[in-house]
Structure 1
């Protein structure tokens, strides 16, 4: 019932990188080099030596170029981008954030092609490469989405344990979808209730969707009592 929506979310979340791409187009590598030089001038760290600055700038430029190819509508260009991206992950182990984003991009392309096993492989790579704690819940949520899409419900649930507070509603909603798919109505209701109560945005569309899911299961999230589909209250 909800699998198509969850896979779609996996794709549309990537659209957020368009802002980053636009910034790159306007500013390019020269700005990054300037920032690194400024940092070196202020702090005087030997780490920011000229060779390292140039290497970092080159890695970022390479990241931008392969991202452009990955987002191309031309099949051959996209395939070339996939090859570059895979090599990029292996080569740029010193730029873990960029390598993590690259692995996420490759995973997205495999989802588009309905290659969920390959998508999971690169999401696992992203998880192992990543050293930014703020990205970890995003990667785990996507791993849960991919496993849910392929029917690996228990494995999907394993990625949704102990989310940070800011991800609680997102995780709980997906957890509810998985329990619903497993036929575990009570667990689904409990998860949806948690998702609804932890979503603090009053006019948020996702909160309205959670409300609809609960009502489809005979529950009014704004009341403590369960209501039947016919509208009668049950103890």
Structure 2
């Protein structure tokens, strides 16, 4: 499976999205909420909620970033609890959706692909168009590949929604096509993924190995 190597990148994309869209979103919420209670009360509540969510999310990211050798069963249980709390307490907010992404990751790492797929489908159903939804789509495609559901995986990544996600979408597309035996198409997808990764300054070694393996098999 394509490695989950972009969590920090997704966090940065979320921060960028919030910087560009957060003020207008907050203004809309305030207008709707204004008829129910005063701005001061609303502002205090929203600030407290955001701070609590941010604290939980930071704790989770810090623990996930620890070396794998330090992540014993107790640490894994704590990470799962933090992710579940984010999902439960902050619902369909971005923080809650990130909690679901992490729960899907933990399930996939444990080989529980059904649970991982359920978490990712939930994110896709509730997230707006943007980084979180696109990440969930790419990851679900990888899960579906593990479940031998190649056509469903290909449908998820058929169209690249944003250049920043071309690497993930095209690599998943290549993996599904490879498993289907469509080697020429798989190699073309890997090459597109490699070019996208290079444009983003990402490591391309894994993709180069996949391309070389196909070339060595005679599919040049």
Confirm or deny: 8 A CA contact 1:92 1:99 kept in the other structure. yes
Q: What TM-score comes out, normalization by structure 1 length?
A: 0.64
List runs of 5+ in structure 2 lacking aligned partners: 13-22, 28-33
Distance 1:205 1:101, change over 3 A: same
Deviation at 1:151, TM superposition (A): 1.6
Change (3 A) 1:90 1:191: same
Cα separation, 2, equivalents of 1:143 and 1:209: 23
Superposition deviation, residue 148 in structure 1: 0.9
| CA-CA distance at 1:18 after TM superposition | 9.7
For the 8 Å contact 2:120–2:136, the answer to whether it is kept is yes
1:117 maps to 114
Please tell me whether Structure 1 or Structure 2 has the larger radius of gyration of its CA atoms. 1
Deviation at 1:219, TM superposition (A): 4.9
The two structures, once aligned, show a CA RMSD in angstroms of 3.7
Deviations 1:117-142 (A, max 9, x none): 11111112222332351332221111
Aligned residue pairs, count: 192
Name the CA shift for 1:165/1:82 in 2 (closer, same or farther; >3 Å). Answer: closer
1:1-235 counterparts in 2 under 5 A? 3=1, 6=2, 9-10=3-4, 12-14=5-7, 46=39, 49-67=43-61, 73-93=71-91, 96-131=93-128, 133-166=130-163, 167-195=165-193, 201=199, 205-206=204-205, 208-209=208-209, 211-220=211-220
Determine the C-alpha separation between the residues in 2 that align with 1:109 and 1:194.
29
How far does residue 87 in structure 1 lie from its aligned partner after superposition?
3.7
TM-score normalized by the length of structure 2: 0.68
